Amino acid sequence: EAAVTQSPRNKVAVTGGKVTLSCNQTNNHNNMYWYRQDTGHGLRLIHYSYGAGSTEKGDIPDGYKASRPSQENFSLILELATPSQTSVYFCASGPQDTQYFGPGTRLLVL
């Protein structure tokens, strides 16, 4: 299975603060994705990317930005964090439609 890493693994942020979640993959996958997972909502797509320099809006992009500076790295940015963004965030990567998930980041916004 492809290796995807995320950092940090846990994060506590204050309301109104800026939060950056990082994702790295060394499998040379073109596609990378950011999801959040909340009880009762399953996995919801926030942003995704087809390659370095590209970002696309997913199903719930409001309040989030994404950056893909290289093939390996894909970041999720919360410019002004809110308590409603408390969640578990998963990054995934893959060739074409297959996706492999990272270990997740638990974010708590106080």
| Residues near other proteins, by CB under 8 A | 1, 31, 33, 41-43, 45, 48, 50, 56, 58-59, 90, 94, 96-104
Cβ distance to other proteins smaller for residue 8 or 17? 8
Shortest separation between residue 16's beta carbon and other proteins, angstroms: 29
Shortest separation between residue 43's beta carbon and other proteins, angstroms: 5
Mark residue 96 as left, alpha or beta (left: phi above 0; alpha: psi -120 to 50; beta: remaining). left
The structure tokens 């965030």 sit at: 89
Shortest separation between residue 90's beta carbon and other proteins, angstroms: 6
Cβ distance to other proteins smaller for residue 6 or 75? 6
What are phi and psi for residue 108, nearest 5 degrees? -120, 120
3-class SS letters over 1-64: CCCEEEECCEEEECCCCCEEEEEEECCCCCEEEEEEEECCCEEEEEEEECCCCCCEECCCCCCC
Cβ distance to other proteins smaller for residue 9 or 18? 9
Shortest separation between residue 80's beta carbon and other proteins, angstroms: 26
